[in-house]
Amino acid sequence: MKKNYKLAIRVIAMLFLLVLPYSAFAGSVVFPSATQAGTASLAETADGWEFSNALFSASFKKTDEGKLFFNGSTEMSLDAGTEIFQIVLGNGTKVDASQMTWESIEAVDLVGDASAVVYSKTLNGKALKATLSYEKLNFIWRAVLRDDSHYLRTELEITATEDTPMQSITPMMYRVLNNGKSAPVVVGNTRGAVIASDYIFAGTETPLAFNMVSGSYNPNFKVNSWTPESWVAVESIPAEILALGFKESEVVSSQGHVKVSDAGTWTFRFAYASGAHRMNLTGVDLIKDGAVVAKDYHIGFTGNAASNNVYTLEIPEAGEYKLRYWGETKTETINSTGNITVTKANSTSTYNPANWEPTDWTAVTDAPADVLALGFTASEITSKEGLVNISVAGNVSFTFQYTGGTHRMNLVGVDILKDGAVVAKDYHIGFTGNAAENNVYTLNVPAAGVYTLRYFGETKTETITSSGTVTFGGATVVATNPPATITAIQPTEVDPVTNISGKWSRNTTLKTTDKFEVSTVVGLIAEGQARRSVLSYIERERAVPWRSFSLYNSWYELNINRNNDPDPLKRMVESQTLPVVNAWKTNLFDKYNVSVNAFVWDDGWDDFNSLWDFHKGFPQGFTNVDKLATEQGAGTGAWLGPVGGYGSSKAQRLAFWNSTHSPAISNFQLSNKEYFDAFVGRCSQMVDDYDMRYFKFDGISAQYEAFGPSNEEDAEGILNVIGALRAKRPDLFINTTVGTWASPFWFKYSDCVWRQRDDFDRIGNQGNAREQWITYRDQLVYKNFVQSSPLCPINSLMTHGLIVTKNGPPAVMPRDNSEATKKGIIKEMRCAFASGTNMVELYLDNDLISTIGNGELWKELALSIQWHRENEDVLADVHWVGGSPWDGSKTNIYGWASWNEEKSTLTLRNPARTVRAFTTTLREALDIPAYVTGKIKLTDAFAGQTQYSGITGEALDIDAELTFNMPGFDVVVFNGSVDTGASVETLNFKDKKMGLVIGDEHKILFRGFTDNSTVQVMDTKGALLVSTTSTSADFEVKVSQAGIYIVNIISENGKIQSEKVVCW
């Protein structure tokens, strides 16, 4: 593949195959553009300051009064003149930054900190810093541009000299000049979704943000129904709705552009269909040219019961409008679905099918061919037509009877149409006058209903001057009006300006001891690369860069069905955990030099009559089990329920609290300082006492599917917990589970979020329970992330990993010692790792892993962990390939892929029992930018995979069409390498490192060139000789020098370290 490649070989000796330091592959997802941003600069101008790099510039204007306004960005089409932030106080007072007292503005050089965990903070940069105040509030605001950044961030800190009630902070306010380009929209159905167009993205960087746009089409809006994702925060809320008793942050809207067929009185009846909460409504209105032209604002609801759930609008005329439905979240969050019946009373029709007058007949342009075949030209045919309701199916007769006029009525046929097509007809010549002949027409009506009825006459014989009647036989035929409709439409023109903003709801008091911190981003999207452009930003700014993290979780093996027992000795105890860790050491570490990153002890270790203290079954806490874990290079992790956990154990924890506190509570709240301190204290003590690498924070809310918080302060509380723990150990792996949602801004804090719904279930009608479980797990990722929140990466999800157990619901899956069962587990294992999510949970009963396949599953597990770690430098880019695992009626081939300019991965699964074909190109599957061309070689990541002729092992043009004819339930994992074919003959490790112990069985990996090569020579001086070759005419150079990482070497003093050795 060619793009001015420099020959770069990274060689990694995988001793014990543990992880590199968290920063080893930080920033591995590069902004997908042939031009990179380069060095950041900040220059003082005549009227302010201008940030710039090779991709964009953005400026801020300083007024004569010493205040700052954003002054625009040409490349991002951002207009000048917007405020840099706004706050709303607890009493509803809005205060713009320009209304505050400005104390100082200064340019700041940012020096990268090589020890920082957040990748962007390791880079140099520039900042513009302002200090402001308003009454008892103090503000520090910064605009920040780091090197190699395709985006601009702002940061805001707020402190108070006196406790101050707050309502919200809006730190992002831009006007986008669309200039005929796509207008920004909110991309996703959750709080904290990203705003994006084809060329920019933006947002306030918290999962609790209301990121909003004005004047744009909402793809989740429907006229006749709603779902939780239909409702979003909006910038402008009618004062009449706020007057009903709501704050701006408590009002949401579902709105979109519509076409109204008729003026008049319209009603909108909301009817709940499903969901944990009723739908709480506040109004309906209609907008024309920015003004409200019809409205009905009142409080109503619909659930199992309903009250005031009908809204009435007087619509002045037919035409195009914006229709807005209004709801509120003050009473409860929105997680319901429902239907909206939209009706208008019909006026009396002027059409009468039971008679005719001379003036009723009009010329036709589309006379039926069968009528013309009777001997007429089109200009000689006339018709009378209208909409009728026919009461029954079957033969219906129409008898025409002349009543007056100078000429008889000359007829040629009758028909009815449905959806524009003739469904019944009788064409023949007849007449009625003083005499009549063949004046009865009979139709075989297919079903009762509404049709277009057409009578056909001819003027060839004589003109139509008669009147008469039509009688019906076999059914009642009555005129009806066309149904009045309101239909959703997409705007035909892009609004010239779109306001975008990001609001942080803070309905709480800012205390003198606290500090509010919030930040924003606005950046560029490379052409056709929205996903990777946003992902590159996320990986630069997330709390910890993507890293491979495999873990054992005890839930099914030791906890399920007994974690709620009031007797702690009947729950998980230390004496059960120690044999588990020893089994993993014996079967995985000792045999294959591989270990998990952490052993995680799930719900059941704590004393319910305490605030997260250990129960007596763990007399020394995790001390002993942690010691065993560290002996194999692993650490410890633990489950905690921030709001108390689940079921009877939660009830017991609450009972203990309520025994010493008043009033009694039904849910723990992290906003309670005493509980917050106890919770953080327990976690912090674990970090101090053990090699604590992981926390699983479960049940931030009890929502089955979450689109936002059920309680804002609980969600804010968990973010504060994470902040406190990262201050002690920045590289903690923190898994925030049930109660999180598909916002990419979670990753500013936690390492992964929950995929939603049940831990385990099955879906579809293909295969055994294990195949249906894999389909269920992956279908939820597709539905909740790939489809509903496509800019939230799937590289950081808790999917519930790999499950092999004899306990709980997953015990339904095959677990006998058969070849079919072993292969099924291996396929699930491949999917769990190749899906590319950073955390792979292993819910494995160690005795089953040892017996199924006679221990072979341990080897397969070692290979999978090794593959995941060897691909840390590319898997951060993982994205979806193919269709939905289960679309409601059938399965579809799907998988995952990742790519950078040196290497790639591609995994496909056929979830059907029969052979299916999947056609793609590598450019499409790997999402390769347009500026890149060349070939990629796909090789098997694991032995024993299906061989795809013309694909496996071949150098493939990235634009060539490939077809995979996949056997039923096949899973195939490919490693992709750029087909440079560079020749590498010998690498000699030059530097000797103290305490370095390397054996000749260890593997060397040539990044982007060849498969693993074994060490050939190991001399006593520490020189390591490796040989490998590949051929290509593209390169005629020899390797001069390259870096090599020897990873997690256990030195003579027993410490784990990483060494970088020079080789040539």
Same domain, 448 and 555: no
Position 553, amino acid: N
Which residue in 1051, 786, 748 sits closest to 895, CA to CA? 786
pLDDT score of 1062 more than 50: no
Task: Give 33's strand partners.
Answer: none
Residue 288 CA to residue 1051 CA, distance in Å, equals 74
pLDDT of residue 27: 63
pLDDT score of 244 more than 70: yes
pLDDT score of 227 more than 80: yes
Between 819-834 and 856-870, two packed helices, what is the crossing angle to 10 degrees? Answer: 20
pLDDT of residue 808: 95
Residue 275 CA to residue 227 CA, distance in Å, equals 9
Task: Give 266's strand partners.
Answer: 313, 344
Same domain, 844 and 732: yes
- Is 209 part of a structural domain of the chain? yes
Contact 394, 444 (CB under 8 A): yes
pLDDT confidence tier of residue 631, bands split at 50, 70 and 90: very high
What is the full DSSP assignment across 301-343?
EESSSEES-EEEEEE-SSEEEEEEEEEESSSS----EEEEEEE
Across residues 931-945, what is the average pLDDT?
Answer: 95
pLDDT tens digits along 484-520: 889 998 876 677 889 999 999 999 999 999 999 999 9
Which residue in 884, 885, 929, 880 sits closest to 907, CA to CA? 880
pLDDT of residue 365: 82
Higher pLDDT, 989 or 378: 378
Same domain, 566 and 464: no
Same domain, 13 and 42: no
pLDDT score of 986 more than 50: no
Which residue in 109, 99, 108 sits closest to 67, CA to CA? 99
> By mean pLDDT, which of 246-260, 391-405, 624-638, 932-946 is the weakest?
246-260
What CATH number did the domain enclosing 435 receive? 2.60.120
Higher pLDDT, 1011 or 982: 982
Residue 502 is inside which H or E element, if any?
strand 497-505
- 10 Å CB burial of residue 780 (0-12, 13-18, 19+) is buried
Integer CA distances (angstroms), 663 to 176, 532, 658, 678, 931, in order = 50, 50, 7, 19, 64
Which residue in 286, 207, 84, 115 sits closest to 700, CA to CA? 207
pLDDT of residue 706: 86
Compute the mean pLDDT over every residue in the chain, rounded to the nearest whole number.
88
Same domain, 601 and 697: yes
pLDDT score of 1015 more than 80: no
- Is 205 part of a structural domain of the chain? yes
Last residue of a domain, one of 508, 526, 542: 542
pLDDT tens digits along 841-896: 999 999 999 999 999 999 999 999 999 999 999 999 999 999 999 999 999 999 99
Which residue in 169, 201, 188 sits closest to 232, CA to CA? 188
pLDDT score of 991 more than 70: no
Higher pLDDT, 236 or 555: 555
Same domain, 1055 and 1032: yes
pLDDT score of 984 more than 80: no
| Look-up of token digits 């309680």 | 711
> By mean pLDDT, which of 86-95, 229-238, 598-607, 754-763 is the weakest?
229-238
Residue 457 CA to residue 400 CA, distance in Å, equals 11
pLDDT of residue 234: 82
For the chain, percent of residues with pLDDT exceeding 70: 88
Total number of domains in the chain: 4
- 10 Å CB burial of residue 317 (0-12, 13-18, 19+) is exposed
Same domain, 766 and 791: yes
The shares of helix, strand and coil residues in the chain, as percent rounded to the nearest 5, are 20, 35, 45
pLDDT of residue 790: 96
Residue 708 belongs to domain spanning: 543-873
pLDDT tens digits along 245-264: 998 888 999 999 999 998 99
pLDDT score of 1017 more than 50: no
pLDDT score of 1027 more than 90: no
Residue 776 CA to residue 773 CA, distance in Å, equals 5
pLDDT of residue 773: 97
Same domain, 472 and 549: no
Same domain, 503 and 573: no
- Is 381 part of a structural domain of the chain? yes
Residue 156 CA to residue 137 CA, distance in Å, equals 12
pLDDT confidence tier of residue 665, bands split at 50, 70 and 90: confident
Reported in sequence order, the residue ranges of 440-496 that DSSP labels E, i.e. its strands, are 440-445, 449-458, 467-473, 477-479, 486-488
**Among positive and negative, which fits the CA dihedral 19, 20, 25, 26?**
positive
pLDDT tens digits along 176-194: 998 878 889 999 888 999 9
- Is 658 part of a structural domain of the chain? yes
Tokens of 145: 């541009």
Task: Give 13's strand partners.
Answer: 1004, 1046
Last residue of a domain, one of 873, 889, 912: 873
Higher pLDDT, 3 or 925: 925
pLDDT confidence tier of residue 26, bands split at 50, 70 and 90: low
Across residues 576-586, what is the average pLDDT?
Answer: 98
- Is 302 part of a structural domain of the chain? no
List CB contacts of 571: < 8 A, sequence separation 6 or more: 559, 562, 563, 565, 604, 605, 615, 617
Residue 119 CA to residue 161 CA, distance in Å, equals 34
Residue 228 CA to residue 333 CA, distance in Å, equals 9
Higher pLDDT, 728 or 24: 728
Spell out a b/e string for 490-514, using b for 16 or more CB atoms within 10 Å of the CB, else e.
eeeebeeebbbbbbbbbbbebeeee
| Look-up of token digits 């991965």 | 905
pLDDT of residue 664: 86
pLDDT score of 22 more than 50: no
Same domain, 520 and 621: no
Q: Are strands 753-754 and 797-798 parallel, antiparallel or unpaired?
A: parallel
Position 434, amino acid: N
In degrees and rounded to multiples of 5, residue 42 shows phi and psi of -140, 115
Position 948, amino acid: Y
| 3-class secondary structure per residue, 563-587 | CCCCCHHHCCCHHHHHHHHHHHHHH
| Look-up of token digits 């230390």 | 574
Same domain, 728 and 599: yes
Reported in sequence order, the residue ranges of 646-691 that DSSP labels E, i.e. its strands, are none
Spell out a b/e string for 386-424, using b for 16 or more CB atoms within 10 Å of the CB, else e.
bbbebeeeeebbbebebeebebbbbbbbbbbbeeeeebb
- 10 Å CB burial of residue 795 (0-12, 13-18, 19+) is buried
Across residues 624-645, what is the average pLDDT?
Answer: 95
pLDDT of residue 1047: 34
Contact 881, 894 (CB under 8 A): yes
- Is 229 part of a structural domain of the chain? no
What CATH number did the domain enclosing 134 receive? 2.70.98
| Look-up of token digits 């007994």 | 562
pLDDT of residue 758: 87
Higher pLDDT, 28 or 832: 832
pLDDT score of 1000 more than 70: no
pLDDT score of 958 more than 60: yes
- Is 445 part of a structural domain of the chain? yes
pLDDT of residue 714: 86
Same domain, 556 and 684: yes
pLDDT confidence tier of residue 347, bands split at 50, 70 and 90: low
Report the Cα–Cα distance between both ends of the chain, in Å, rounded.
24
pLDDT confidence tier of residue 1019, bands split at 50, 70 and 90: very low
pLDDT tens digits along 787-830: 999 999 999 999 999 999 999 999 999 999 999 999 999 999 99
- Is 332 part of a structural domain of the chain? no
pLDDT of residue 275: 85
Q: Provide the 3-class DSSP secondary structure of residue 369.
A: helix
Tokens of 863: 């290979």
pLDDT confidence tier of residue 215, bands split at 50, 70 and 90: low
